[in-house]
Structure 1
Amino acid sequence: MIQSKSINHADYTLAERENLSATIKLDQSVPHVLLATCNRVEVYWGEGEIPDKLARHLFRVASGLESSLIGERAIQGQLKQAYVQAARNYSLSSSLNRLFQTAIHVGKRVRTETKIAEGAVSHSQVTVDMLGEYGIDLKNKIVGIIGINKLTENILKFLTARGAVNIYLSNRNIEKAVEMARKYNGTAMALDKKRDLLRFSHVLICATSAPHSLIHPADFPQDRGEILVFDLAFPRDVDQCVGDMPGITLYNIEDIEHFAKQTLSYRQNEVKSAEKIIEEEMAKLGKWQEVKKTLLIDSSFIKQTSEC
């Protein structure tokens, strides 16, 4: 039977997810698919029957219905990447392959056949929107970004579209920072120069994949000015004590999602349309499982007959 373990934003706070994320892991010898995002860590493994509850949950995840920002698009790519990576590393069971291939298909159908994504936003978009709420003049302020990935590149697109010209990029792999800086007319900085970055930045955005915090109170020079800090990482890049320091305003991923829910409307009327698609695909998956069972029974009967 296909099995799963999960921790997500609906059941656990950010701090609880950080503490529990290490428990959602299997022995590397066991074929499995690991889906890890800022909102959830889920692992799927096994063979044979696919429980309806498990399949329906994964289909809802793929459709963006279980996301904190309903309908957001990033989860579809994250799920596909998790499946492709697992398929490269393991010989997955036919049931696991079918489950994830169907989930990816469901996600595409929902976004194509409904308007669920039209009212949705991304964490990158909300972050830049919050700068607007603060009245940050991006043409005259310095923005520091730590971490080079799809999320921060999306933020760079929004920033440059809104007139930001003084952007500094830092990353453990400096070559990636140099490449991204060249693409968006920014300036690359080595991560070991982060104190300098913290001294002159008016806005700091962190989104690395580091397993521990990178920014601590002692990293902020005493001669710095006021700074607005956005920590979009999971686990968090910025020690939560930083938010208690004078002149520093700190937002983590939960704060950003709370802002989005208060200020942005969603296509809630599209949820039912998405759920209808999910049930259609659940029925198809059920038929596939019935056919598979029938083939196994027939195969077993033929084997027994031949042995007689």
Structure 2
Amino acid sequence: MSKIILIGINHKTAPVELREKLSFSDEETLKALEFLKQDEDIKESLIFSTCNRTEVLYVPETGEQIDKIIAFISHHKKVDISEFKNSLYIHKEDDAIRHLFRVASSLDSMVVGEPQILGQIKQAYRVAVESKASGVLLNRLMHKTFSIAKKVRKETGIGDNAVSISYAAIELANKIFSDLSQKSVMLLGAGEMAELAVEHLISNKVKDIVVANRTFKNAVDLAQKFNGQAVKFEEREDALKDVDIIISSTGATDYVLTQNQVKRVMKKRRHHTLFFIDIAVPRDIDPKINTISNAYVYDIDDLKNIVESNIEQRGKETVKAERFIEVAVLKFRKWLESLAVVPTIKALNDKMSSIVEIECKKTLSNLNHFSQEDIEAIKRMTRAIATRTIHDPILFLRNTGDHRDDSLYLNVTRQLFNLDIPEEE
């Protein structure tokens, strides 16, 4: 039976410096999936990369191919294996399934209960489907993942008072400035993280919001939404002289603000405090800016302390969520096992026998004038028809070939004959 394996690093196993080295951009993900698709030892694959984790979920054709996947990460990110091997976690079978369910349900996030993670996993799956890198097993697994994440969010309080990284960033700004109503904020980037940050800033009644983005139209759209002001990305250094807080979440691969740029602007702003919150991976803000007087840089790892204070109060809800996940893992395992040839053939036989018995009973109950001999003859005939009907499908299922994806045919058979017991969502 096919294995499901997950290899990755996250905020618990690796610092931001290492995570950013192993982070896959959208373009890199497409190339990497194409590469894995060409590999005869890898049957299905999906790559999931956010600011807090990079994970490769895959189904090997033979063996486990763990060393091959580690070498693949090293090759694509041009990072020596020795640099990251000790930070990797490797989950197989139920552990891989459980890990994925926990990640999607936001139980493994830096901020337990944060809502963005599910959208990010859905996007990663979309890319895998469009690249034709996922197949029967990962498709089913991902749909079950979305289903359990939805159940956890709906039936537990895990999302109540959830603090996203964006929210934690605003909390931090609040602590430093004590009153944000007189402060101006510049957002670098206009994506989902930036939008969430803006919502939190507005609830804290900040004075002004400036948005800078590489695509000026996106900056204008976000600024209009919140009565802010848009500036071109090239104007970001000049805009520093009029703001107090910078929240950066671009997809850039290099620093978008450097030590020299901030040094130049500090003179113009008479060394008033400038506060940078970098929620991007790879990092946007040069950490050397911390050496400048009255300039403070916080990256995603610095937000952990604020975030962790919420975890305790969600303990009970987490226990409930973990219980839902355990049930979902067991159900998925049952489905995986059903994809073996013997259980599917047995289920097909049982289904046909059941139909024959029910229909025979129904028909014969109205034929009281038949002798016992006639009744037995009719029963034999209906059983023979059923047996002949499924004879060829069973032969086909038994005839497993070396170059055939059995899980695909078994899954189709189970769907065609409706052999799966409907699951409660």
Q: Deviations over 1:201-231 (max 9, x none)?
A: 1111101111222111011123233201100
Contact 1:8 1:39 in 2 (8 A): yes
Partner in structure 2 of residue 184 of structure 1:
226
Select between 108-117 and 94-103 the one with higher mean Cα deviation.
108-117
Structure 2 contact 21–282 (Cα < 8 Å) conserved? no
2:34 corresponds in structure 1 to 28
Give the AA of the match of 1:94: V
Distance in 2, matches of 1:39 and 1:305, equals 45
Cross-structure match for 1:70: 112
Q: Is the 8 A contact 1:46 1:93 kept in 2?
A: no
The 5-angstrom pairing of residues 67-106 of structure 1 reads 67-90=109-132, 92-106=134-148
Which is worse superposed, 146-155 or 68-77? 68-77
In structure 2, C-alpha distance between the alignment counterparts of 1:152 and 1:265, rounded to whole Å: 27
Of 123-132 and 145-154, deviating more is 123-132
Q: Offset at 1:255?
A: 0.8
Q: Is the 8 A contact 2:125 2:142 kept in 1?
A: yes
Q: What SS is found at the alignment partner of 1:28? A: helix
- Decide which of 58, 69, 78 is 1:45's aligned counterpart: 58
Supply the AA of the counterpart residue of 1:165.
K
Is the Cα contact below 8 Å between 2:33 and 2:133 reproduced in 1? no
Q: Note if contact 1:33-1:43 (Cα within 8 Å) is conserved in structure 2.
A: yes
Give the whole-Å Cα distance in 1 for the aligned partners of 2:252 and 2:338. Answer: 45
Q: Do the aligned partners of residues 182 and 21 (structure 1) sit closer, same or farther apart at CA in structure 2, a change above 3 Å counting?
A: closer
Alpha-carbon spacing, 1:3–1:63, altered in 2? closer, same or farther (3 Å)? same
Deviations 1:225-263 (A, max 9, x none): 320110000110001111121110111111112222247
Identify which of 18, 21, 28 aligns with 2:20: 18
AA paired with 1:81?
A: Q
Aligned residues: 307
Aligned to 2:194: 152
CA shift, 1:162, in A, is: 2.1
CA shift, 1:111, in A, is: 1.2
Over 3 Å counting, the alpha-carbon distance change for 1:176 and 1:81 in structure 2 is: same
Look up the match of 2:325. 278
CA change 1:248–1:95 in 2 (3 A) is same
Contact 2:210–2:228 (CA under 8 A) maintained in structure 1: yes
Distance in 2 (CA, whole Å) between partners of 1:92 and 1:16 is: 27
**More displaced stretch, 27-36 vs 122-131:** 27-36
Q: How does 1:167-206 map to 2 (within 5 A)?
A: 167-206=209-248
Verify: 1:303 aligned to 2:396, yes or no.
yes
The alignment's TM-score, normalised by the length of structure 2, stands at: 0.67
* Corresponding position of 2:283: 236
The 3-state SS of whatever aligns with 2:22 is helix
Instruction: After TM superposition, give the deviation of residue 115 of structure 1 in Å.
Output: 1.4
1:188-267 map, 5 Å: 188-220=230-262, 221=265, 222-224=267-269, 225-262=272-309, 265-267=312-314
Q: Return closer, same or farther for 1:264/1:11 CA change in 2, 3 Å cut-off.
A: closer
Amino acid at match of 1:250: V
Change (3 A) 1:302 1:181: same
Alpha-carbon distance between aligned partners in 1 of 2:172 and 2:130, rounded to the nearest angstrom? 39
Distance 1:3 1:304, change over 3 A: closer
Unaligned runs of 5+ in 1: none
**Which structure 2 segments of 5+ residues have no match?**
38-43, 63-91, 346-391, 400-425
Q: Does the CA-based 8 Å contact 2:5-2:59 persist in structure 1? A: yes
CA distance in 2, matches of 1:283, 1:44: 19
> Residue by residue, what CA displacement relative to the aligned partner does 1:83-126 show, whole Å, maximum 9, x if unpaired?
12321232521001011111111111111111122242111111
- Of structures 1 and 2, the one scoring higher in RCO (CA 8 A, sep 6+) is 1
Deviation of residue 27 (structure 1)? Answer: 4.8
Separation in structure 2 between the aligned mates of residue 291 and residue 140 of structure 1, nearest angstrom = 63
Q: Distance in 2 between matches of 1:238 and 1:186?
A: 22
Change in 2 beyond 3 A, CA 1:266/1:28: farther
Q: Residue type of the partner of 1:284?
A: K
Structure number with larger C-alpha Rg: 2
Deviation (angstroms), 1:40:
0.5
Task: Answer yes or no: is the 8 Å Cα contact 1:70–1:266 preserved in 2.
Answer: no
TM-score scaled by structure 1?
0.91
Q: Percent identity?
A: 30
Q: Kindly indicate whether the alpha-carbon contact (under 8 Å) linking 2:118 and 2:146 is maintained by their aligned counterparts in 1.
A: yes
Alpha-carbon distance, 1:127 to partner = 1.5
